[in-house]
Amino acid sequence: MAAGIAPLTNTQKIFLQRLLTQHVLTDEKARELFASINEGFGNTQNVRNDEFDRTLGKINASLVPAFNLEICTVSLPSPYTKNTGDDNANDKTPSTRIPLTKYHAIVNRSNDGIAKTNSFPNSRGSNGPHEMAYVRLLIERIIERGSMLLENSRSSNAYPAVGCPGAMNRMEIINLRTELEGAHQGHVTIAQAEMMLGLLVEEGWLVRMAPPSLGGSQNEDDDDDADADEDDEEGNETRKPRRTNNKRKTPAKKGGTFYGIGPRCFMELGEFLMKAGLPENRLPQSILHRA
């Protein structure tokens, strides 16, 4: 190790390795992991909250000068589950504050073009230019969806103050490959699109999101059934006549599992997200960890 860089303890090394393997962890999961590792070494005194924060700083003190990597932390809307979705749907209070959750991940601090290209969802090095074009298009479409929702929202509290509320369901994401143009047209198969979706979710570039009718838009003019099943992708149920208005139309509500922009995108692709249309004030602030 380079001179002046303090070596990590076994506990710190294992925590770093696990975080690298998991790609991104919520603060709760990260603290549970830290406590479990310490207990394995009999260090029951090192599970205090302040020790966890100090450990992140000590790891960064070694990662930054040695590899130009660091543990980054941002606060974003809490992970979606069916239970939390039902709870939010039952709460009709417009002023309800949507909770935020801290996420931790190891990110590349380099600003050069090569680093930016390598940090884009391609950690396994097996994705070609066509797959990368597909991922870029996907992120752009999700941000476009989010812009529509924010534009049509009647309440400033309908969505969290940070992040992107846009989401697409699995079938839409798979079929998006047919909208690639130019040199990329027809070069992403269904299997490749499914593989990319799995990779993006696994590594934290995308996260599960509430269906549109269960998210912040529950107070809007929802025309469709909010309880559509994932297998009902065709949308064959009878719909009520749509009320006309002069607002920009939001995407039709559909069933299935929905996905939105994940914490890794906000941590590593902020510039790209803004170029795609995400307002700068919706980017989460990074929390620094120093020894």
Q: What is the pLDDT of residues 173-200, one digit of tens each?
A: 999 999 999 999 999 999 999 999 999 9
Instruction: Return d(Cα 124, Cα 104) in angstroms, integer.
Output: 20
Please report, for residues 12, 47, 134, 248, 254, the alpha-carbon distance to residue 251 in angstroms, rounded to integers and kept in the order given: 46, 46, 20, 10, 9
Statement: residue 38 has pLDDT above 80 = yes
Instruction: Return d(Cα 167, Cα 16) in angstroms, integer.
Output: 31
Statement: residue 225 has pLDDT above 60 = no
Question: Which has more pLDDT, 89 or 85?
Answer: 85
Q: How confident is the model at residue 230 (pLDDT cuts 50, 70, 90)?
A: very low
DSSP helix/strand/coil, 110: coil
Please report, for residues 37, 57, 107, the alpha-carbon distance to residue 12 in angstroms, rounded to integers and kept in the order given: 9, 11, 17
Q: How confident is the model at residue 117 (pLDDT cuts 50, 70, 90)?
A: low
pLDDT, position 276: 95
Statement: residue 18 has pLDDT above 80 = yes
pLDDT, position 153: 83
Residue carrying structure tokens 């992991």:
33
DSSP helix/strand/coil, 205: coil
Instruction: Return d(Cα 194, Cα 161) in angstroms, integer.
Output: 31
| b (16+ CB within 10 A) / e for 215-247 | bbbbebeeebbeebeeeebeeeeeeeeeeeeee
pLDDT, position 133: 94
pLDDT tens-digit map of 249-278: 555 556 789 999 999 999 999 999 999 999
Q: How confident is the model at residue 164 (pLDDT cuts 50, 70, 90)?
A: very high
Statement: residue 157 has pLDDT above 80 = no
User: Percentage of residues in the chain with pLDDT exceeding 90?
Assistant: 57
Average pLDDT over residues 278-290: 93
Average pLDDT over residues 91-106: 74
Question: Which has more pLDDT, 280 or 86?
Answer: 280
Instruction: Return d(Cα 67, Cα 65) in angstroms, integer.
Output: 6
**Residue 37 φ then ψ, to 5°:** -65, -45
Question: Among the listed ranges 130-144, 166-180, 228-242, 260-274, which one has the minimum average pLDDT value?
Answer: 228-242
pTM above 0.85, yes or no: no
pLDDT, position 252: 53
Token pair for 204 = 């934290």
Going from N- to C-terminal start, the domains of the chain cover: 68-282
Question: Which has more pLDDT, 102 or 83?
Answer: 102
With contact defined as beta carbons under 8 Å apart, do 76 and 263 qualify? yes
pLDDT, position 79: 86
Beta strands in 139-250 (DSSP E): 168-169, 206-209
DSSP 8-state class, residue 95: T
Q: How confident is the model at residue 2 (pLDDT cuts 50, 70, 90)?
A: low
With contact defined as beta carbons under 8 Å apart, do 283 and 270 qualify? yes
pLDDT, position 82: 74
Question: Which has more pLDDT, 62 or 92?
Answer: 62
With contact defined as beta carbons under 8 Å apart, do 100 and 237 qualify? no
Taking the CB of residue 140, how many other CB atoms lie within 10 A of it?
16
pLDDT, position 154: 76
Q: Average pLDDT, whole number, for the chain?
A: 81
